[in-house]
Structure 1
Amino acid sequence: MIWVCRDSQVTSGVPPAPTLSLSPEFRVFVRGEQLHFKCSLPGGVRARRFLFYKEAADGQWEQIREQSGNTLEVSTEHLRPREEFGCSYQEENGTEFQSAQSNVVVLSVTDPPPSPVFSVTPKQDVYTSGESVDLTCSAPDKHKHRTSRILYFKNGGQLHLSNPPPSLVTLRLSPQDAGNYYCSYQVLESGREVLSLESNSTFVSVMTESLLLPLAIGCGGGGALVLLVLLACLYKRKPKALQGENESSPPVGCNSGILPQSKIQDSKVGDPSKEEGDKGADSGAEFEFPEITPTYTLLGSTSSTSFHVKNGSSTKEEHIYSEISL
């Protein structure tokens, strides 16, 4: 490490001092930005080495780099709030003498302003195309009077709005406006605009009406489908006699029509007429089917079917129940 006295006097035989310049030509930098120094030689002079210095805490010059090139890049990440830089060189003729020190470049390093608060109103998970939303970017109170500009971003790219954009912007949404939104602001600091940290972000999802309609139909169609399935199940559980007049199968549970009926209903055992009825059962007997009057009632989740069976002079009512689990 080489230390150079700041107040050293230029003596005869010492190469003339170079010129140190800084790019960009600011005097205030935000922590994290990059500095670019250039050590320029006097006219007609050639150098084989360049030396760059920074002022130490005790006021002495500390060499930070020795190199063949005359440019130096420095990060402000770990610099103090105020720094001073200088440079010198060694001539190409092989002598070990260093030139006189250059001019001093003084700069300041500041932390970026704190993040603003970003919001989208109204707050919704999904927005419809054509709907309007308000974007609001609010700087902290102590920086509001110094705010020179507010910037809005979507997916990393700056939105080109009115110049300067206000703290509240209204957007009429389209599907192309979907994305991640956030903002930042700038304050004036020693003649330059210093950008703040980024705000919180909000994702805006935009859906067209043509996509919302199938969702609504799908929700209603699902209920209709369930109802159709339930009706199909109920239909399958009906007695076959109710499914059509062309079907010859009798209803389940009905004894009438299975065997030929005797015209005499109350004959006693041993009665001659009873015996004649039995003898005629195998030849030409008449089949008599019951008269069925179905009544359907659907209440809630339970259905009831009543059958009035007329058999001779008596009428018998039977009920078939089926339950539907919804």
Structure 2
Amino acid sequence: MALIHLLPLLASLQFLPWPVSPADPHPAPTFSIDPRKDEYLLGDTVALTCSADPLPVPIREFHFYSDKGLAVTARVSSRWKQTYNLNITGPRDAGEYSCAYYTGRPGHFTKSRHSDGITIKVKDPPAEPMLSVNPPSREANEGHPLVITCTASGHAAERRFHFYQHGAEIEAGSETHITEPDTPPWNVAVLSIPRADTNSSGEYSCGYEEKDSGRWIPSTRSQAVMVTLKGPPAEPMLSVNPPSREANEGHPLVITCTASGHAAERRFHFYQHGAEIEAGSETHITAPDTPPWNVAVLSIPRADTNSSGEYSCGYEEKDSGRWIPSTRSQAVMVTLKEPLPPSVLRVNPSSGAVDEGLPLNFTCMAPKVPSEQRFHFYKNGTKIDTSASEPELTIPQAGLDMAGEFTCGYEEKVNGRWVASPRSQAVTVTVKGVTSLPIPLVAGAAAGVLALVLLLLLLCLCVRKRKGSRWSINRTEKDGSISSYSPIPLASMNPDTF
């Protein structure tokens, strides 16, 4: 059979006038189809045969018509009939078909009547499947799984699925995996991409074939879905307190991890030398438990040699039920600063022994630094309440209670924090009290003093007698009469009588 041309026409085309002779039209041909079925499947091929009764004139052309507006003109391959093979490729091939023939020569054709119509029914193709993407946002996280699922409705004896990217079929390989059903109901197939990358973005669709009467019948393809590639969560920022990144031994070290933006939920991680730090007795991690989930803190109460090193942090964001890790922060090097040199305590008197009631002076000696300093003094380990800015402590009168062990220390202001030095070596202070004399010795001394006073009085009396007058002394005589001594003026006395 030689097909000359295929013309898409409206149904009315079959009634377009042809240049024919005024003679009556020829009788209608016989129209047949092989094989005859109630319903045809996609991929079927049917033979449409148009047969005319013998005529006195030759048949020039056979025409095949469809109510969809299709016309096929064919040169005759035999004298009285022509067969046209119709491939069923889709629902558009369904409809009513008929045929006619022409005799004569160009400009003087005579058309036959139309044959009886034959209706061709085409079975609808399998229903369009549904394509879904995980994550549902259709934003694939770089380096994380991308899962595309093709779901067919209804039931079938058997199905096989196909996935397409940018219209080209995807074949399972090292970077992709296609899981097809191997048992009924044959409804779902999955395309898995373990680690999404730039090649994973694009337009995806899917389709399937159903096995019907021994043949695979393709479905229409699903609606296309656009998948974009989403980068990892933004890199966080790591900060250290003290800002100098020099941890003072025995003092707190605080490392803070800050994430930008907002997320449904985050969880943070800290790393030292690349290994994750777990919260424990020496460390404490405070992570957010309420929105905006932006900041987490690693606290080391007392820094030591194990605290120095390279620190970094990262976090995970919850996206579509999955934890997506961020890139790690830039690493920060933390060093351990040597402790301050110990102070030296000087005491005056240098022996540390002082008599009760005498002054006692302490001096706390520390290296001179441009930053602020404050000093502290301790007795038997207990801090003495003094002015903290002065390196000297003076006790004007030492009491017996001042005996004991004295130490001192100082603090320097470093990066806004007071850092304490080790305490000085202890200095022992003793206080010597005033000694009391024994009672007999005191009594003897008092008697001596009294005798000395009496002696002085007698001497004074004697001197006065010699210089001034004689005293008469009254006394009682043996007979009971009183004799008296009266002073006699010295002038009337004869010196020769003495």
TM-score range (shorter-chain normalised) is 0.3 to 0.5
Higher-Rg structure is: 2
For normalisation by structure 2, the TM-score amounts to 0.33
Q: Which has the higher contact order (CA 8 A, sep 6+)?
A: 1
**TM-score under structure 1 normalisation?**
0.47
The structure in which a higher percent of residues are helix is: 1
